[in-house]
Structure 1
């Protein structure tokens, strides 16, 4: 039975559209189609059937698809499920691809393969993780990292094969076997070098020495006086006997016997082959005398052939063979080696100086210094601070000295004070620089040259007190006053020597003579024919008239008058200034004065000039055009003015 499921358009042919009308609105176009034809084919899709392995007309063809693929009921084409490909879906996806149409690429690493349907990674042995990106964790190996590593003694296994990598000192499939005797290290590849029966550690190769030997390779016997394993035991042999380095047995010298060679063959005090000689040693300072040779073995602190000499300085102990361990020149006790400190030091080895304020033997004396840096821990002598001197540093430095014990000489100049501590100069007013040897710069004065001179018309001021050095012709505290009449020079300190009312220059004392006088001191009158200031004016008196040297006024010769004595007395008068009246009678004329010929009359006329000019003015009210305006004037001068106007912006009114 078939059941109708749906109708579906498969294809359409002959689709023809014809636009019959169109309408445009404000913002869009509206088209309407009134007629069209559409030819199409329909395919009938049916519901499921028990005959789903067939296709074609009347379902007569059997499908060839595999692996769950479905075939098209019309064409018979296979639609493969995920993970398969081929015409009949008979082949899985190629290696490295999976999924629908085998289009997805696998993401697996380290040689893993992926499932052709899901893409799940199938890890190679030794790897794990979603993408097989991680090696097996420590202690695991193999497929899916499920196998346990069998390695022992700290060995590690390969995450793929499980093969053990053994640490130093171990070999075997599971690292369970130590290196064989004589070898050690990685793969037991290194050869042991221990001597004298020493055993070699199979891991590090370190030698474990037998009794009586030491050293990196057990190459050395125990030092003299020791024996046994690691030479840890001290020999107990006496009288110079040596002990065997392995078991400590004593090897006695001739004349001695006993397990420790402690017994003499001869009785005490005797020696020789038949013990018939007396020992020559000083008994109190002697440990023993050799039973055969009679040689003295001195007690601690004594030396010499017969043990009658104390140890030399710097040595102590039996035979004075031990070096004293004392510092700073200390001696030590010849018997015990205890240090006897020199003055100024204490401590077991005399390496500690006396504390501050103490000195001498055992640091029992107190310093008595003042103003000191320190006192000598040896003899208590004072080391004075800068600026102090004397046995107890109580005396300040004398003038001109400074520094520790005042042993430095001050370099300060020009009366500057010197600091007794550091020698720094404190300059006197008017001086500067490190040693106060440079005066204040022009215009300043006083301590450190901090003050500014307040002077006018001066050559600076005194660098010490700031007193102004006035220029010639000036005086006053600030040099702001001109010299008073009769004084000149710097600070007006000189008196003028000008006479006859002359004044002197306040700068250099040069006399400025009053009219009518001349000379350095204005003592001489003007010569005849000259008058006025510096006698520079010529006299104009005629007819033997004389002029006043001061103002040039003429003193006329009798019979003449006027300013230049050029006019004779008027008729009827005569004498000086024509003050006398003639007393002549009967028509007689009197002489006005001594007769003098008159000079020729030669008048001089001043030059005259004719100044002619033309003055005109005009006011222009409006201008309709420059050329038109220019044509209104015939004067060539106005044409030049108009040409100038063309070059400017002019606000016409």
Structure 2
């Protein structure tokens, strides 16, 4: 224990403060370690009771030292800050206060126990501590108290504002300013507010906007461009400039300004980006107004370059030669008539395949009917009327050089006009071969037998239904069943009861065996033989339509034909080009077109045919008469081997690969939306 001398400072002396000092002491600490080794030893009784050498494990121990350090804390007594000791005084009796002694604006105190006199908001011997005014009663704030260095301030919750005293909070009426941002009704509440909508409207997700139940605010009313609110929960769609509404009343399509009075142009009109550009035909120039065309006087301007005389005409000019001269092939140079005129068609028919006509510009070739000029304007090649749609064939068309020939399906004959096909009435022509009765149908016929007979397997001959043993039984029953109603024939279906034709069928219940003496397998087999003999279960059903009706169930008449006319026999609808079906209400299947949809579509690269004319409708990026100038969907390049990099396997330019965007999209990859 350490005893302080009377000369040292001690706790209790004036202005003496205790302080902790730390010292580090170093020393050596012993540590015992061990190691093991093998040593040689002599052992007795290894073999034949003799000594031998062996090994044993021996452990040795040794001591090492390591340096360790200890931290020693002890209390010392010093003069408190701002005080000092002189000599061997019993305490620190002399005040020390300089320019840097007091902090935060504090000043040295001349009297009292404090060294520094602190300003409001600070304390401590040297004014080094901030006073937290919010610790006591929240600084007197009604809302929140916020402490700052040397001071504090009050803050109010959202929906209220600070009063003039800087401490009290008053409610704010948010509805007073701009209706609180509400579109319709603003309702103030203590510390807050909310918006409400009138009847017939609902609140938007933003909590401020009111949306009518039927208005443009919901998905733009379904409009592609603009939605115009008409009030009373009604609206209509409108399009941007140079666009017009489609028939659906929602989508827009680009309006061609040139279709409206030719865009105001006197001659040629070209629409680019919705704007009109007027131009003139050769021989005219555009006037200053940019719309009208003025005639160019080629003779005065020197553009005609006639060797003799020039006559100006509206939009053109004509060169005239002096007597004794003839106008050359260029229409400008005049040549003296001194040589015999050579007929250009005399040698090798002018190179023409068919007809040659001599002109001043050389031979003019033409072709016979059924042929057309090739690209060389001399050779005549056959025109395939069956493919081009020029043929008038109703059923089948066969092309041959210079013309074509029509033919009909089985059961039809070619009409005298060489185009249409008429049904053959095999019953009238006596080619049916029916033994009893014959009923004609469209393209064919059917044979029927009289009462008491059935058709044979050849579907022409008639075989008696009854054996001689049953003739008497049949005679007795004929009087009771003279009229056989249609509903008694379960295997036939009539629109009305037959009036002109008689049909017979073996009724299953009428000829069932009543013999109870025979039973077992023999009885069943005999019954089956009797049914086979009578033709039961072999009656072929047929549908015969009367009173000008036709169709699978005799439910169609000529008044039902929608895209065609009724035939002369009033037994079918003759469809217009591009239509098919019993009543001509179905368009031609994909890949066909024309009359009776008999022509095949030859469009390539995803093109589709117009069902009436067969004209190819090419997809974006593909062009040509048969859509042959382009690549299939998803490919581009000279050989169509490069793949398009367009989203959703979209179309791209067949040469450069640029994406061709659908309406409403733009951007390099059609990934941006205009609306």
Shorter-chain TM-score above 0.5: no
Select the structure of larger CA radius of gyration. Answer: 1
TM-score by length of 1: 0.21
Higher relative contact order (CA 8 A, sep 6+): 2
Please, what TM-score do these two structures have when normalized by structure 2?
A: 0.20
